[in-house]
Amino acid sequence: MAHDPLAHVRDLFDLDDDVVYLDGNSLGAPPKAVAGRVRDVVERQWGRRLIRSWSEGWWEAPERVGNRIGRLVGAAPGQVVVADSTSVNLFKALMAAVRNTDRSEIVVDAGTFPTDGYIARSVAELTGLALRPAPPEELDLRDTTAVVLLNHVDYRTGRLLDMAALTRQAHEVGAKVVWDLCHSAGVLPIELDALEVDLAVGCTYKFLNGGPGSPAFLYVPRNAQHAFEQPLTGWTGHEVPFAMSAEYTPDPGVSRARVGTPDILSMLALDAALDVWDDVSLADVRAKGLALTGHFMRLVEGLPGIGVLTPSDEWRGHQVSLRHPDARRLVEELAERQVLGDHRPPDVLRFGFAPLYNTFDEAERAAAILKELL
């Protein structure tokens, strides 16, 4: 294959060379620096500094780490905070988007990731708004639409949505848009500020490699922060948390999106994991991701019983989804041969390609073993 400008980044990850790991869209591989950093947090920051560490960087970690993620999603400093889970952040975002609205419906991507649908339904039930699922190509937005919830990349097929066009479509009818970036943050160039996105959420344990259960992030643009009234008014979102006031006054900035005490162990593991992005160009990441997924699709097209679900053009994320009636069995047998992908019922095999550590040789090895099994 052509020269790979990201080849050296693989050395920053703790990976076994005999394992082809193609499940970074579910759980990213661990960067080597994480273990040592967590050891320092446990043994020195917590073990020796004890309570003093809260005033030595712990308290500000949600905003500081948020700014590091902001650089990867096109957000200027002060607009991304790391806290809680994707589901919790999505609840905050949707509730804030529909607060005091005179509109009557929430529109959600009909093929959305299940938790997005569950949370959207809860918000609809709590607010009395109607919930209307719709395919992204047939949203049929109206002057009754309060907010639209969309997945940037479809978790089953890997289809990439046009964030610019769909955001514009929502704004044309006066609706807000909330984007779920779980399958695009860390692999696609995203321009939240430039596209005037209203709100966005995303996880950090997939392509951002933060580790299992690492805290999620929430984007609130600066010009909307004063009006961001979230439903979970926890103490760390207070303007002066340690005043211990009986009355809640939200922080004037993005910190108002915080709720409870931050998970420091996971937060600082994520902080260490983000070091691999230093001096990495997202343009290079995108170019390699398209090349990797395209190469793999060409290798598996035409294999017995295999159908390719992922778009062949540039409107795809960095995963390849295949359809086969024995998908579960194939994923299990691939794992026995040291090729790790995953299965989505009833018949989908998914292979996530993380350009920071996956190689063209691995794509070829995975395709060759799949061919043998078929």
Domain spans of the chain, in order of start: 7-32+280-373, 40-277
Which residues lie closer than 8 Å to 176 by C-beta, 6 or more apart? 97, 146, 147, 148, 170, 198, 199
pLDDT > 90 fraction of the chain, expressed in percent and rounded: 99
Could you tell me the pTM of the whole model?
0.97
* Chain segment 131-154, per-residue pLDDT in tens: 999 999 999 999 999 999 999 999
112 is annotated as contributing to ligand binding:
no
116 is annotated as contributing to ligand binding:
yes
201: three-class secondary structure by DSSP: strand
Annotation marks residue 13 as catalytic? no
Predicted confidence at residue 16, as pLDDT, reads 96
Strands (E), 142-278: 145-151, 176-180, 199-202, 217-219
86 is annotated as contributing to ligand binding:
yes
In this prediction, residue 224 has a pLDDT band, given cuts at 50, 70 and 90, of very high
87 is annotated as contributing to ligand binding:
yes
In this prediction, residue 264 has a pLDDT band, given cuts at 50, 70 and 90, of very high
Predicted confidence at residue 1, as pLDDT, reads 55
Predicted confidence at residue 344, as pLDDT, reads 95
Peptide bond before residue 346 is cis, with ω within 30 degrees of 0: yes
226 is annotated as contributing to ligand binding:
no
User: Residue 350: which of 2, 23, 7 has the closest Cα?
Assistant: 23
User: Residue 251: which of 263, 236, 266 has the closest Cα?
Assistant: 236
> CA–CA separation, 112 vs 117, rounded Å?
6
* Chain segment 299-343, per-residue pLDDT in tens: 999 999 999 999 999 999 999 999 999 999 999 999 999 999 999
Predicted confidence at residue 14, as pLDDT, reads 97
The residues facing 105 across adjacent strands are 130, 145
H-type alpha helices, 217-355: 264-273, 282-300, 327-336
Neighbours of 194 (CB within 10 A): 10
Q: Average pLDDT of the chain?
A: 97
The residue annotated as part of the active site, out of 21, 91, 155, 205, is 205
Q: What are phi and psi of 106, to 5 degrees?
A: -110, 130
The residue annotated as part of the active site, out of 206, 256, 258, 288, is 206
Instruction: Give the pair of three-digit tokens for residue 129.
Output: 């708004």
235 is annotated as contributing to ligand binding:
yes
Residue linked to tokens 């990797």:
292
The residues facing 155 across adjacent strands are none
Predicted confidence at residue 3, as pLDDT, reads 78
Length of the chain: 374
Annotation marks residue 288 as catalytic? no
Say if CB 24 and CB 358 are below 8 A apart.
yes
Annotation marks residue 180 as catalytic? yes
> CA–CA separation, 80 vs 171, rounded Å?
22
* Chain segment 74-92, per-residue pLDDT in tens: 999 999 999 999 999 999 9
User: String of b and e for 60-72 (b: at least 16 CB within 10 Å)?
Assistant: ebbbebbbbbbeb
Say if CB 147 and CB 129 are below 8 A apart.
no
> CA–CA separation, 184 vs 258, rounded Å?
23
The residue annotated as part of the active site, out of 10, 132, 176, 350, is 350
pLDDT > 70 fraction of the chain, expressed in percent and rounded: 99
Q: Tell me, which fold does domain 40-277 have in CATH?
A: Aspartate Aminotransferase; domain 2 (3.40.640)
Q: Domain 7-32+280-373 belongs to what architecture? A: Alpha-Beta Complex (3.90)
Instruction: Tell me: pLDDT of 2 over 70.
Output: no
115 is annotated as contributing to ligand binding:
yes
In this prediction, residue 190 has a pLDDT band, given cuts at 50, 70 and 90, of very high
261 is annotated as contributing to ligand binding:
yes
Alpha-carbon radius of gyration of the chain: 21
Average pLDDT over every residue of 354-371: 98
